[in-house]
Amino acid sequence: MSKLVMNRRKLIRTLGIGGATALAAPSFFTRGAWAQQFCNSPEVSGKIIFGFNVPQTGSYAEEGMEQLNGYMLAVKHINGEGDGGLLNTLKPVALKGNGVLGRKVEFVTGDTQTNTDAARDGARRMIERDGAVMVTGSVTSGEAIAQQSLAQEMGVIYMSGLTHSNDTTGKDKRRYGFRHFFMAHQSGIAIAPFLAQEYGTDRRAYHLTADYTWGWTQEESIKAATEALGWETVATIRTPLGLGDYSQYLTPVLNSGADVLILNHYGHDMVNSLPQAVQFGLRDRQANGKNFEIVVPMFSELMAVGAGDAVRGIIGTSNWQWSLEDEGTKAFTKSYGEAYGAPPSQSAHTGYVQAILYADAVERAGTFYPPEVIKALEGFEFDGMGNGPTLYRAEDHQCMKEVLVVRGNENPASRFEVLDVIGKTPREEVTYDPAIFGGELGPYEPNQCA
């Protein structure tokens, strides 16, 4: 223990000296004429620090650790180590594999505990103590929204990880927050044609919805999309968050006259509710002369692994899947597989892509000055990151790209092959009017962090 403390001191001293030299040195690696001071300017500190803030403990630790792996791989590739990954496929690309603006990137990590307060504490530590110029990472919308509003206050850009709520780039959008991940509204639009194709247009749906904001936005979006198909909504029932046993909500489904159960549950809620729904024999039933079906509008491969056999044949949407055939996906799956011995999950992909996109925007802007970086990201049109042609929309900082529709693999050969991609809904169809969700981005001018 005493050893640890001693070395900590030594570290702090070295850090201090490093900081002092950087102060003394003239501002290097700057291209533009942005003399403005801003929070954690690498021109002042002499270091480029990214802050990776993900849950490392608690129920979502697995998604968090995957995301962290993605981030660390991104740093390697940005710094020119490894095989370069998606830097080879991103078009247009400004990054040269020699760091950002010619200087190597470093990173710090934190544990959000899937708790909004802990997430903000971690982000503040990265910004105030470690001098992070960008913070990124989340596995729930609560974490993402809490961090991006902090980012706006501090004047440090935040790139969100997994966050599927409409609010992140809707009601609660921020100028300093960017989302690559897709969202509930797009899930609804994307899944609808496949539901019509598989289950027909004459269906009666029963929703079980996790009783908090994400659940509500998804229920609303899926309900709107399915009703547009001609489906009828029998009931929308709210279930408490983190409930282990859903039996009391499942028995009423049996004789409700519905023939589709839609589970608006995420993470462990879904991991528990889906197998229980299957155990109640829902999928063996006939209702209204049709096979009873279960739909989980949004799920990830880690959730699918957790739900086990129950996920076989279940349709849902995903942001990305390693088994896609495009160049970007193949390159990323290969680099990630070599580094970690397993194919990446969509959590890892989102983290990786967000880190690369930020670094690339800085390279294009020629400065770390946040307003310029934000302008470089806003309206940025790119391809080769595994999701087809993608637009970082300026109006709400939401990425516009195709959405995958997936189905639980009937006969997976390994835990990595639990999901099959059954189709993609093209970008044009999932593009929506940003005005429908309200909210305002706020100003570009950065606050000075204290």
Segment 280 to 299, residues that bind other proteins, using CB under 8 A: 280-281, 284-285
Tell me if 276 contacts other proteins by CB under 8 A.
yes
Tell me if 116 contacts other proteins by CB under 8 A.
yes
Nearest to 351 by CA among 330, 320, 324: 320
Name the region of 208 (left: φ>0; alpha: ψ -120 to 50; beta: rest): beta
Tokens (6 digits) for 386: 């595994």
Which of 81, 202, 227, 338 contacts other proteins by CB under 8 A? 338
Tokens (6 digits) for 444: 């570009």
Our CB check for other proteins shows the closer of 103 and 285 to be 285
**Minimum CB distance to other proteins, residue 1 (Å):** 10
Tell me if 322 contacts other proteins by CB under 8 A.
yes
**Minimum CB distance to other proteins, residue 334 (Å):** 5
DSSP secondary structure string, 44-63? Answer: HHS-EEEEEEE--SSTTHHH
d(CA 325, CA 420): 12
d(CA 329, CA 421): 13
Which of 31, 91, 96, 129 contacts other proteins by CB under 8 A? 129
SS3 content of the chain, % helix, strand, coil (to 5): 45, 20, 40
Tell me if 31 contacts other proteins by CB under 8 A.
no
Count CB atoms within 10 A of the CB of residue 245: 10
Binding mask 368-407 for other proteins (x = CB under 8 A): ----------------------------------------
Tell me which residues in 49-68 interact with other proteins (CB under 8 A). Answer: 56-62, 65
Please say whether the beta carbons of 272 and 246 come within 8 A: yes
Which of 100, 150, 315, 404 contacts other proteins by CB under 8 A? 150
Tell me if 140 contacts other proteins by CB under 8 A.
yes
**Minimum CB distance to other proteins, residue 230 (Å):** 24
Tell me which residues in 403-432 interact with other proteins (CB under 8 A). Answer: 416
Count CB atoms within 10 A of the CB of residue 379: 11
Nearest to 357 by CA among 68, 160, 162: 160
Residues recorded for the chain:
450
Tell me which residues in 344-373 interact with other proteins (CB under 8 A). Answer: 344
Tell me if 152 contacts other proteins by CB under 8 A.
yes
Tell me if 73 contacts other proteins by CB under 8 A.
no
Tell me if 162 contacts other proteins by CB under 8 A.
no
d(CA 204, CA 217): 20
Which of 36, 82, 97, 121 contacts other proteins by CB under 8 A? 121
Q: Which stretch, 42-50, 210-218, 223-231, 361-369, contacts other proteins (CB under 8 A)?
A: 210-218
d(CA 386, CA 349): 9
d(CA 71, CA 77): 10
Q: Which stretch, 232-240, 363-371, 393-401, 428-436, contacts other proteins (CB under 8 A)?
A: 232-240
